[in-house]
Each structure stands twice: as C-alpha cells, then as structure tokens.
Structure 1
C-alpha cells in the first residue's frame, strides 16, 4: 500500500554494533558504508527515510533500512528467518544484520537509527521519539528498500518491509505501511521473563523480580516460518494493551538528490 502523502512533522545487547546507551542498552546510529563503488558522498542517489511507530504501546528497536538490488531478500513471509532476522526479532541484536549489509555487495547503502522508537504517547516516559529521519545513499543499481525493527515487547516479533520500490525521481516521495511479523523462531509465551529487559524499561510496565533475558532460550525454540504476527493475546503476564492494530509503522521514502 503506497501513497504520496507526507508524515506530520510533528536482551541488553540491543544493537551492540554502534552507539548511544540507555541503561544497559547499546543502541545504533550510523549510516553504513555503500557497497563497492565508493563512499556515500559519491553515490549517485540519496534518500531520506522517515520511520514512524504507529502502535499504542509497542516500542521498536532503532530501525534499520537498506537500499539494495532486487536479488536481496532480508526476509520473506512463509520462509524460515535467517540468523540476522532471528537475532533482531528475539534479542534486539542488529550486529548480524550489520554484518550482512557489510558483506553483501547487492546491498548498496544502509542506515540504522540512533534510538528506539516509542509510541507517540511515550507510555514509559522515556523521552524517545516516535519517528526518525534516516539518510542513505546508493548507486542506480539499488532499486528496492527493506526495513526491519524489533517489536520489543514480544518474544520474536518484528516490523518490516520486504523489497519495496525506491522512488525513481528527485523529490518523489512514497509512503509505505509496515505490519508486524512473527519470526517463527521462539514460542510466544508473552511473559516478561522471556522478553528482553528493555521491554519493561521502554513501556513503563515493571514486573517485580523479573529481569527478562538477554539470550535466546533453547527450550522455547520454534522451528517455524515468518508469518503475520498474531499480536498480544493475553496468554502471559504482558498486558493486552501491548497489542496493536496493523499497520504497525509507516515508512516514508523520499529521493532527495
């Protein structure tokens, strides 16, 4: 689903790959190098990507976006999640995804946000934004964009876009709406004890004497495939208010040069 509208202006290893700290979190915040053919500054095309959290209560990890050739598929509904998507969806760990970007020539440019994206109401009182603008550059061989971010108060949920077209003209803007997915790699216990610790910190829902976990639990491993996320159903101690209506995020992409 696309349109040309503008957005209104108005596991503790959380992206150990790059930058800012929030309690125990190490968070991202970088434009990753363009693959092959020179630096970002010398790339033929530049894009501004604005990602917004549309959920009432679900925080996201700092979003990652990549401009790439059509041969790249970061994730696909009905397929098993690869290691980068599993690590992101279960543990908020973007390091394997950063490695994938840096070692895949068909990914021509990428960027990662500086901070988590919280709902616009900021239920945890974090002061974090609900949207962020990212800039990336890529040569003309990059015709598609993918986006992923963890749904933090889930076992293995993420929000994403899989290989959507990039704008072709300067000043052309398109807005995509992204839904939540279940990676199919961990059972949905909906228990704070099985979620990353930041699920409590970023939502303001503190579960006494429950720390959460920074690692995948083999006992909860699920040999499934990526499917649309069923949401929060109330089977564990997570409040059902953590559920959301789709779409979970909007992603505006504008070609700026």
Structure 2
C-alpha cells in the first residue's frame, strides 16, 4: 500500500562504545574532505502504528525540521498527513546547511526494524547533526522522529541509542475518520495530503494520542491497538566510518 499522504524531546537510552577504529577515513587528496558513514537503525515500539518510510537528514544547526510551537512547513505537512517524504527531503536537500538526505525503502511495521545508511563529507564531523522523521500512518497528521543528534561525539565503531516520542503537525484536525486517516486502519481510502489546514492550533506540538472506537468515539476508524504510549520508537546510530 502506498501512502501518498521536533527543540524535539529525545530520551538518551544508552551510550555504547563498540570499539574505536582509525579515523583516517578516505581523505580526498584534492579537498581534504573525509567521508563519514553512519547506520541508522529504527525500531517501531508500537502495537499498531506503522511508520512511513524514514526521512533521514544530516545537517548543521542552521537547518531544522521544525520548531515546537511554530507552524509546520508545507513539506512537513505533506509528510505528516500522507507519509510521503519526497517533498520534505527535496526541501531539506536544497538548503546549504544540509549535507545529505536519505530515505527508507518502505513502511516500518509495528515491532519491526529498519536500517538506513547515511553518509556525509567534510574536513571534520564537527557540527554534524542527524534528524529522522516519519509519520505514524494511523493518525491524521502525526510525526515521530529525533532531531539534531550530535554526530561529532561518535568515533568509528561507536553507537548511541535514543528513544523518540510522537508529535502533531498541527495542520489537520484529529478526527480519525476513515476519510482522513491514510493508514491501513482506514483501508488506505483517505485523501492523504490536503493543503487546507483545519487544526485550530496550526503549530507543531506534542501529540496527545488517538481516541478510538474502543474509547467510545463512534466516528473514529481506529481501534485500541492503534493507541500507543511514548516512547514509540528506539533509534540506534552507529558510525561505521
């Protein structure tokens, strides 16, 4: 099924040093630039919320996916309402502060894990940050991810693990009806992205969770299995070169 339709709270879970290798990595003899490579491993901790294909960005501090309390960009809105990360990654990639963008290849199902390789070049990794964003697709305009993780703390072979919570893009009312939720709970029949914004907040905020049929909301297409408690995802970042 195709789904056309963060300061972020990040909870450090563990810091694991798996051995340090040499940092003399593939220097470009002309520019002196080095290649820094990472493996981003995302585990979906929910019972019934598939994540849309991951959007991974390596960037400097001048770029942000969003700011809590401010309105979402149209590109982020498209990701949050439809799960489509193409415009979000294109907008990021056009920014001079963005070093690299990568996309996952498919949904991250509940309990499943996805691995996304990412790499960037520079004279050093000072100022390198990593952001990941996806949509929990059985929501109206939900987001899950981590933002601004400092990659310069990692030597080759090091790993860090984080827990992520959910956010609401604030662009679509959380009606949870079959025509507005693009995920499999609504049989994928919803419209996906809609440029009109009908959430009265029109700002990114921490997601309050969903209200389901099992909670007594007769118009909701969701059931109890689509509820979640934060954290909703575990993210492991390893520097492999």
Q: TM-score, normalised by structure 1?
A: 0.74
Question: Residue 48 of structure 1: which of 34, 39, 46 is its match?
Answer: 39
On the 8 A contact 2:127/2:150 being kept in 1, the answer is no
Residue number in structure 1 paired with 2:140:
155
Q: How does 1:157-196 map to 2 (within 5 A)?
A: 157-166=142-151, 167-196=153-182
Partner of 2:202: 224
Change beyond 3 A, Cα 1:206–1:97: closer
CA contact (8 A) 1:89 1:157 kept: yes
Partner residue of 1:22? none
Report what 2:53 is aligned to. Answer: 62
Q: CA deviation at 1:240?
A: 2.8
Distance in 2 between residues matched to 1:217 and 1:46, nearest whole Å: 36
SS of residue paired to 1:218: coil
Q: In the alignment, what sits opposite 1:4?
A: 15
Ranges in structure 2 where 5+ consecutive residues have no aligned partner: 1-10, 18-27
1:143 aligns with 2:134: no
Measured in 1, the distance between the counterparts of 2:79 and 2:34 equals 28
**CA shift in 2, pair 1:227/1:214, >3 Å:** closer
Find out whether 1:247 has 2:231 as its counterpart. Answer: yes
Q: In the alignment, what sits opposite 1:82?
A: 73
**2:95 — aligned with what?**
104
Select the structure of larger CA radius of gyration. Answer: 2
Structure 1 residues 43, 152: closer, same or farther in 2, change over 3 A?
farther
CA contact (8 A) 2:136 2:144 kept: yes
1:222–1:99: structure 2 CA closer, same or farther, 3 Å change rule? farther
Distance 2:193 2:68 in 1: 24
SS at 1:4 equivalent? strand
Task: Tell me, yes or no, if the aligned pair for 2:100 and 2:119 is still in contact at 8 Å.
Answer: yes
Q: Which secondary structure does the structure 2 equivalent of 1:193 belong to?
A: coil
Does structure 1 retain, via aligned residues, the 8 Å contact 2:68–2:205?
A: yes
How far is 1:211 from its partner? 2.5
Residue of structure 1 in register with 2:116 after alignment: 134
Matches within 5 A, 1:27-38: none
Query: The residue matched to 1:147 in structure 2 has which SS?
Result: strand
Cα distance in 1 between the residues matched to 2:16 and 2:210:
30
Coordinate RMSD, CA, aligned = 2.2
Structure 1: distance between partners of 2:211 and 2:138:
13
